[in-house]
Amino acid sequence: MKVVKLGLCGLGTVGSGVVNIFERNADLIRRRTGKRVVINHIGARSDSTQCDVANIKLSRDIFAVANDDDVDILIELIGGTTVAKDLVEAALKNGKHVVTANKALIAEHGDHLFKLAEECEVVLRYEAAVAGGIPIIKTLTEGLSANEIHSIVGIINGTGNFILSAMTNEGKTFESALAEAQRLGYAEADPTFDVEGIDAAHKLQILASLGFDKPFEFGSVSTEGISKITPADIEYAKELGYRIKHLGIARRRHHGFELRVHPALVPVKHSLANVDDALNAVFLYGDAVGGVLSVGAGAGSEPTASAVIADVVDIVKAGEAARVIRPKQTKGKVLPLEDAESSYYIRFKAIDKAGVMAAITSAFSNHGISLEAISQKEKQSAEDDQVTVVLLTHGVREWLFNQALIDLKALDGVVGDIAMIRVETRF
Ligand SMILES: NC(=O)C1=CN([C@@H]2O[C@H](COP(=O)(O)OP(=O)(O)OC[C@H]3O[C@@H](n4cnc5c(N)ncnc54)[C@H](O)[C@@H]3O)[C@@H](O)[C@H]2O)C=CC1
Ligand SMILES: N[C@@H](CC=O)C(=O)O
Ligand code: NA
């Protein structure tokens, strides 16, 4: 029986999960692949307290792994887009298959790396890069391969979902929930990627490229994070029958594609509204199958390592016949955000005097926008001359909504900033 030798670079949250699963499920993996698969060489800056690597060759220089003739498949789990890119390139050029969980790397340099892998006649796989342990890339590219994909809507950042869930269900502060997500190993090395939506944008770009078979470029996703969501918004959304979720939305329209990541009010009865903690969920709509919802752990050590090892198993089983999964068609046109249609939630302060509410509603009706709900919240004190106003529009194109927003801001009775969150009801 041939032995397949793995090189593992990066021994952090996901890397130690890979070691632990291999230790525990070695026999099962051997049965399923028909081969003995062993971690032969690890590249890590420091030892891990999360796994036992006593019997494995260890190098402080990760490039020693990429240059090791005794490594067939290199697993890249160091993160980032600089050294990781050099490492993956070196491994591919040395004839090694590569498995990575690095969405930033695939989103920024996927096109180049896929081509390089094909030139080098090796395989590059990245199931763990999107929605952690959920086999979403396999679902999209294999299970739904007969379908024209119409839309992809999902919760694709575990840290963001963990924070919003903790704020919604436990009244935790943003800061304490983020600290907990970091402690649990969900957050990126730089958590700005999670809370400002960059990580979700990387993942949506990958999913949309595969789902629509278009190599969308890095930066083509309109991106907004969750850092401006307040406990008040969460509460007001609840009162209106919604939960706030951070969504990635990719939609095929007849003249192009919508690609956007932002917080959204989701009706409380919709399945996505009830996906909590670090779980991810992706709702795919295909012309033949209809809707398919996949839910599971989107982050964390072993859930992510589960997807990494699934890629390894595929490569071991198929060898050279395993293909590089990548979009093959020409580039797709990304529509501007202003072209999208949605309902909108807004919150702002207004002077509490006669005529102000009428002027507010006129700012919308003048543009033909009807309101689903408008309410004045309790004042902080009787002396306060300002009230908080919360308003929900019916569906409208974003460019038209923006016109109404300009008129609203210009009103004498409206004070300070206006918080806006889109309302998503189409899945
Ligand atoms: N943590 C999670 O839940 C998930 C993480 N990912 C991705 O997996 C990758 C790894 O993530 P984590 O394990 O969470 O990160 P981590 O920060 O826990 O682990 C990365 C490890 O790589 C090491 N490292 C970085 N540069 C190195 C270098 N030049 N030489 C040697 N060692 C180096 C670090 O010291 C650290 O131990 C990232 O690309 C991340 O985006 C993907 C899905 C889920
Ligand atoms: N930081 C990411 C990790 C998985 O991709 C997340 O929170 O989703
Ligand atoms: Na996945």
Question: In terms of domains, do 61 and 204 share one?
Answer: no
Q: Are residues 169 and 293 in the same domain?
A: yes
Q: Verify that 227 and 287 share a domain, yes or no.
A: yes
Same domain, 199 and 105: no
CA dist list (Å): 94 to 29, 120, 123, 289, 386: 25, 8, 12, 41, 67
Is 53:18 a contact under the CB 8 Å cutoff? no
Q: What is the pLDDT of residue 383?
A: 83
Top-confidence residue, 329 or 159: 159
pLDDT tens digits, residue range 258-300?
999 999 999 999 999 999 999 999 999 999 999 999 999 999 9
In a domain? residue 327: no
> pLDDT of 372-425, one tens digit each?
999 999 887 888 899 999 999 999 999 999 999 999 999 999 999 999 999 999
Q: What's the whole-number average pLDDT of the chain?
A: 96
Ligand 1 binding pocket mutation candidate from 8, 13, 58, 137 (most atoms within 8 A of CB): 13
pLDDT (0 to 100) of residue 110: 96
Claim to verify: residue 146 and residue 268 sit in the same structural domain: yes
Judgement on whether residues 215 and 71 belong to the same structural domain of the protein? no
Active-site annotation holder among 5, 85, 172, 203: 203
pLDDT, tens digit, 9 for 90 and up, residues 324-361: 899 887 889 999 999 999 999 999 999 999 999 999 99
Other residues' Cβ atoms within 10 Å of the Cβ of residue 9: 29
Residues with CB under 6 A from ligand 1: 10-15, 43-45, 62, 77-79, 83, 101-103, 128, 132, 185-186, 188-189, 299-300, 304
Other beta carbons within 10 angstroms of residue 329's beta carbon come to: 10
pLDDT of the residue at 384? 86
Reply yes or no on whether the pLDDT at 427 is more than 90: no
ipTM: 0.99
Q: What is the pLDDT of residue 374?
A: 97
| CATH, residue 83 | 3.40.50.720
Q: Is residue 328 part of a domain?
A: no
Residue 299 CA: which ligand 1 atom is closest? 3
pLDDT at 321: 74
CB 159 less than 6 A from any atom of ligand 2: yes
What's the CATH code of the domain at 351?
A: 3.30.70.260
* 203 catalytically annotated: yes
Predicted local confidence at residue 1, as pLDDT = 55
CATH number at residue 185: 3.30.360.10
Residue 15 assigned ligand-binding role: yes
The pLDDT score that the predictor gives to residue 286 is 98
Q: Which domain holds residue 356?
A: 338-423
Same domain, 243 and 146: yes
pLDDT score at 320? 67
User: Within this chain, do residues 311 and 365 fall inside the same structural domain, yes or no?
Assistant: no
The answer on 286 and 167 residing in a single domain is yes
Distance 341 CA to ligand 1 centre (A): 38
117, 148: one domain = no
What is the arithmetic mean of pLDDT over 89-108?
A: 98
Q: Which contacts of 184-192 are long-range, i.e. CB under 8 A and separated by 24 or more positions?
A: 184/278, 184/300, 185/12, 185/13, 185/299, 185/300, 185/301, 186/158, 186/159, 186/162, 186/278, 186/299, 186/300, 187/159, 188/79, 188/159, 189/79, 189/80, 191/159
Answer yes or no: is 329 within a domain.
no
| CB of 96 closer than 8 Å to CB of 123 | no
Categorize the per-residue pLDDT at 426 as very low, low, confident or very high, splitting at 50, 70 and 90: confident
Question: pTM of the full predicted structure?
Answer: 0.97
Residue 122 has pLDDT above 90, yes or no: yes
Share of the chain above pLDDT 90, in %: 93
Residues 142 and 111 in one domain: no
Mean pLDDT score, 57-86 = 98
- pLDDT at site 370: 97
285 & 375 share domain: no
Domain count, the chain: 3
